[in-house]
Amino acid sequence: MKKNLQKLRINANELEKEKADLWEVINLSEDDKCKKFIDWLNEKRSKLVFTPVHELIKELFTESNFYSFVSAMPSGETRAANLDMLVSKARGI
């Protein structure tokens, strides 16, 4: 992860965008991972119009494997329950 961020910063420097924030650097990047991320994020943004928030959050947790990642951490059961609670609370929005 650290190497990827360093690579992005080097690319920003080459584009004379030393003071660019991370979002701008990702958008300017020619890296395939960055392009894929931007496409994925734009897809999720387009769903905001017609998808309930709680479903979108659950989808993000599932697609990114975040739920599995958190579950495998120490106290994973509690952490996963917190994610479930977030989804439940978002259902009320």
pLDDT digits (tens, 9 = 90+) for 48-93: 889 999 999 999 899 889 999 999 999 999 999 999 999 999 998 7
- pTM of the full structure: 0.66
Q: How far apart are CA 77 and CA 93, in angstroms?
A: 25
pLDDT by residue (tens digit) across 12-31?
A: 666 665 666 777 778 777 78
The residue count of the chain comes to: 93
Q: Are 54 and 90 in contact (CB under 8 A)?
A: yes
